[in-house]
Structure 1
């Protein structure tokens, strides 16, 4: 669905910052591609660059991003501008931005914000059809259609995030980019959101680029994972292979940085058995740390 080739982004200033450095990635049809890395490593900058949402002083210095439509044609995103770019966004590639409350207009109802998508991109739709489809979208993501009249501040964090996902799905895009869609949500709501994303992906067949610093979360939902550090992709591979046989030292440190319910560091999912390849402390040291924390 998407080919990113040798893509680089700089932030210009007194001192130029090389935020994204020669990144190459591919996204398959119906695939969930995880993009993991610490804060500030360039994940969101890459997503904004691909969708042409960057503003000065950001500058794309090299590379290309090509969209391969399911209808059989390809589009170089750099060639789009003006009305063509506006028509392309949301219709072919949509984005769920980090922080739903910052993305939703606080003084406009959910209904008005959903219907605005159709007014802009589907002007031929009648108002009754727009209202019906807006309600259907909410119900598809698990929100009652009565919430159409609500304002963003009247919704919980999880409901606001679901509204953002509904907006991103409105025009049946072929690719959805999700920039930390579960940040600041509690773990129960996170699980609900992830289940919704997985279900909708299966039903509608869109591909997903899922951006987060939470590597264990990506291991649960991704087909492949790209690990990013300092603006570069340092490791890319099948999610299970990356978990069981990480190659790059940074990936090993990421895996070892998450605690386990068993108290042994690095063993956050599945077996609860320490894996020496991750460079974590041995069981005795881990138990000692756990006992110290209990005291």
Structure 2
């Protein structure tokens, strides 16, 4: 479980999501206006602290990805935000109502302030374009003042930051392993030094060893660069290891929200208890799956 030493305000005795928020989701509801209206997200309120890792857990279809797309204004019809507001609080001291952004303002905001690693990100890379060209496109679009040499240097630095040799810039996606492609996607998401990174099931389809490496990279980069993370997955044990706080979502609603350790040791909602009990044990005790917790298990 992540230790939230970097995300708490010890002097004030209050958590960082209260004293220094970077993102506020206030009573947001999202509907799909089909023949029968589907209420995908129902009156969700969350606050993300600067530098915090907030885990969002829940079964498939509970509305996790729909909420993530709403934050980045990526929802398309028939999805609509039927109520509520989402506000971004810049480190420069001003706030932005994301619902009010339009056109060029919205294009410039995306990826620059809030970036996203999409579900199935390993398959998001263009198979016929080199890694270098795809990374450089981010800088060409958002940092047009950079020279070609500067763009290339930044691309190399990005790859090395996520543990990939810069010689791989010339490679095509099919020449990389699944873990390397995922690292490239993370590098692309952090290219413009965003203040919030949304990760939607970023380790799905990776084997457990590579998954562990990716999680270590995310926590290391968070500590190094200070961005906040919304980490979305159905894998609750994974969230217990990486998150400062965890929100549990069921049928479009947040049914439990608390510190990761509290969610693990003192779950309040029956759905959270069922989620915790559904994972196989590493030690023989039912539900005791978290590595290194209470002295049990082994650290991989």
TM-score normalized with structure 2 length:
0.89
8 Å contact from structure 1 (residues 262, 272) kept in 2: no
Counterpart for residue 67 of structure 1: 88
Counterpart for residue 281 of structure 1: none
Counterpart for residue 129 of structure 1: 150
* SS of residue in 1 equivalent to 2:107: helix
Counterpart for residue 174 of structure 2: 153
Task: Select 1:40's aligned residue among 36, 58, 61.
Answer: 61
For the pair 1:165 / 2:186, whether they are aligned, the reply is yes
How do residues 181-220 of structure 1 correspond to structure 2 at under 5 angstroms? 181-220=202-241
Counterpart for residue 197 of structure 2: 176
How many angstroms does 1:263 deviate by?
3.3
State the number of aligned residues.
273
Task: Select 2:246's aligned residue among 217, 220, 225.
Answer: 225
How do residues 283-294 of structure 1 correspond to structure 2 at under 5 angstroms? none
For the pair 1:242 / 2:263, whether they are aligned, the reply is yes
RMSD: 1.0
Q: Which has the larger radius of gyration?
A: 1
Between the aligned partners of 1:268 and 1:201, the Cα distance in structure 2 is: 25
For the pair 1:256 / 2:273, whether they are aligned, the reply is no
How do residues 93-104 of structure 1 correspond to structure 2 at under 5 angstroms? 93-104=114-125
| Larger mean Cα displacement after TM superposition, 112-121 or 254-263 | 254-263
How many angstroms does 1:272 deviate by?
8.4
* SS of residue in 1 equivalent to 2:39: strand
8 Å contact from structure 1 (residues 34, 210) kept in 2: yes
Can you give the 5+ residue segments of structure 2 that lack an aligned partner in the other structure?
1-21
How many angstroms does 1:271 deviate by?
4.5
* SS of residue in 2 equivalent to 1:161: helix
For the pair 1:27 / 2:48, whether they are aligned, the reply is yes
Between the aligned partners of 2:51 and 2:34, the Cα distance in structure 1 is: 39
TM-score normalized with structure 1 length:
0.91
Counterpart for residue 111 of structure 1: 132
* SS of residue in 2 equivalent to 1:75: strand
Counterpart for residue 86 of structure 1: 107
* SS of residue in 1 equivalent to 2:30: strand
